[in-house]
Structure 1
Amino acid sequence: METTHLNKKQRLEKNQNCHFDDLPDDLIISILCNLASSASSPSDFLTVLSTCKRLNRLALNPLVLSKAGTRTVAVTAENWSDSSQRFLKLCSNAGSADACYALGMIRFYCLEKKRNGAALLAKAAIRSHAPALYALGVIQFNGSGGSKSDKNLRAGVALCSRSASIGYIDALRELGHCLQDGYGCPRNVTEGRRYLIQANAREVACTLRSFLSIKEGEMTFPVKEIHPVNRFLKDWFGPGGVKLSEGLTMCSHDGCGRPETRANEFRRCSVCGTVNYCSRGCQALDWRVKHKVDCTRLTDLWLAQVAAEIGEELPPEYNEDVENIFAQR
């Protein structure tokens, strides 16, 4: 009679076959490419690396990393580290335009590596990455990273024009204001107004599309949401972050986050002089959202103070001049 030791567990035969091992690498890489392009956060993609050795190896395949999208490389200033920089560098070396743009902006404005940051932005721009083209245009308009004499208005207009041709809203708005003012290009008020109308129409269309997609339960990137790179810049130089050098300010538009690279680099509001903007597009957006009210209030206070000092009412044409300035914005 066969006896079994009571202290030993009986071994049960189990099917050790794993169907995942039967899948070809090409199929898994294809799935990982879709994940890299559509992940809602870096953690959604990086979690795959810790699943098993095979997924870790395939997820780091250059073909997969080249598909990394905006949200996949959306690292935050709070979680910035050497490992997150290495991840962005892996993706940018693999050919991800979004990673090149993100790492380029971070190195140019945050890490004081102007040459390397500009090179990464150019690498993304070569791939027709609209935000990178626009970012390079802003750098050319301001001469960022150099002196005032390094401004190249014609190059800025050309880069914005290329970005606008892809349909980038900020570039459309910037190009429209340049054409209206004759800034870096021959003045053409009609054409400039057409670009501004197109930018506003696209903005409304994106907002409606985002609203409809949210109702259908789809993942979207609403137009009013701050781009992850701009959010990084705002948090990096925001309260509790890196302090800007004396005399430098940030763009006053809440959705931008760009800092000055030299004193008096950005343009100021011509009426109140209390806010600074990296571009005409940011100035127009901030004027529409909040500064119109703040600037009007400051102007009214200034006029009242002048009237009190001279002891008489101001001539009507003073108010008319101020109203004309506001009407032109």
Structure 2
Amino acid sequence: MRNPAFGHRADRTLPRYFYVLRNRDGEARLPVYWEPRPASRDPLVREVYRVRVAGRTLEAGNLHVLGDRLRDALGSLLATGQPPRFWLVNGACASPVYREGEAYVALTDGPRLWGKDLAELVGRYAHYLASCNGGRRAPVSVALFSPADLDVHWPELVWTGPGVWIPVFGVDGRLTAFGPRDRTWSVPAGPGAVLELWERVGNDLVACGLLQHPAALWGSEVSDSTRGALLASSEPTGLTLRFVHFHPSGAGRVTLPIRRLEGRVFASCGELSCLHVAPDPGTLREYLSAHLAQAGVVAGLQDVVLEEDGGASLHRLVRAERLPVGLASSHA
């Protein structure tokens, strides 16, 4: 169908058409973008149409050919009789993940891998890749496949804790977390949605004995958009957490401003790609210290100092000063 917002002189960042596909979950609208190429020497490619499906961009010189390519792509996606739920991604390699009964199943180039939840499946996929690469572990990402647009969506962040790995995706105006034992949590998207989701997930995991305290749950792989939204909507507390981060070439004194939003406090470290949340600054220091100690950044709680900052700035997410190795102290 033609996009009514696209006129003769319309912004080409707008789709010119939509493919409308009906499925059991409702209706999927795939935007089709148009690019004229008047300078092309080939009369058959004076214009190009593009559509994106499952993380791939399909391209053709006319809508008829593009439609054929889209049908082929959808046929591959539905080869098992259902669309994939997720994709496991490692570099240029990607494996679709389907739901079979109470388990997730990944179709790799080798064996079929299964897991009762995403955390278990990702672990087995990483082990499989390591066995193919001489024992070298490679990072694995997970992407959500949305029936609404037939595209993949990367996580906004991953809630991580002792034995816990919970990716969070933002789709259709909501943030949804996929946790252990087939649990899911969902909240409406908004400035404080990530922190609201942290509280719901943390309290639920504490109640079922999977977590000692909600603050033991910290965010990794935090997207720039999520971090930016938190900073823009929160306010400074006037407090900071300070520690020394050792590097192979020296050490850096790191200062993390503590910010407040909707009754919760948090500290975000872009350098370590993490987000820590707690009900109060003391608890925040305790659990952030535990995470840093586990990562080998500090020795323990005594190395992380909570102090007054005199007014944290939105732009001072992390301040690091290089110190000579010989002068660096393990205590901030």
TM-score by length of 1: 0.24
**Which has the larger share of strand?**
2
**Which has the larger share of helix?**
1
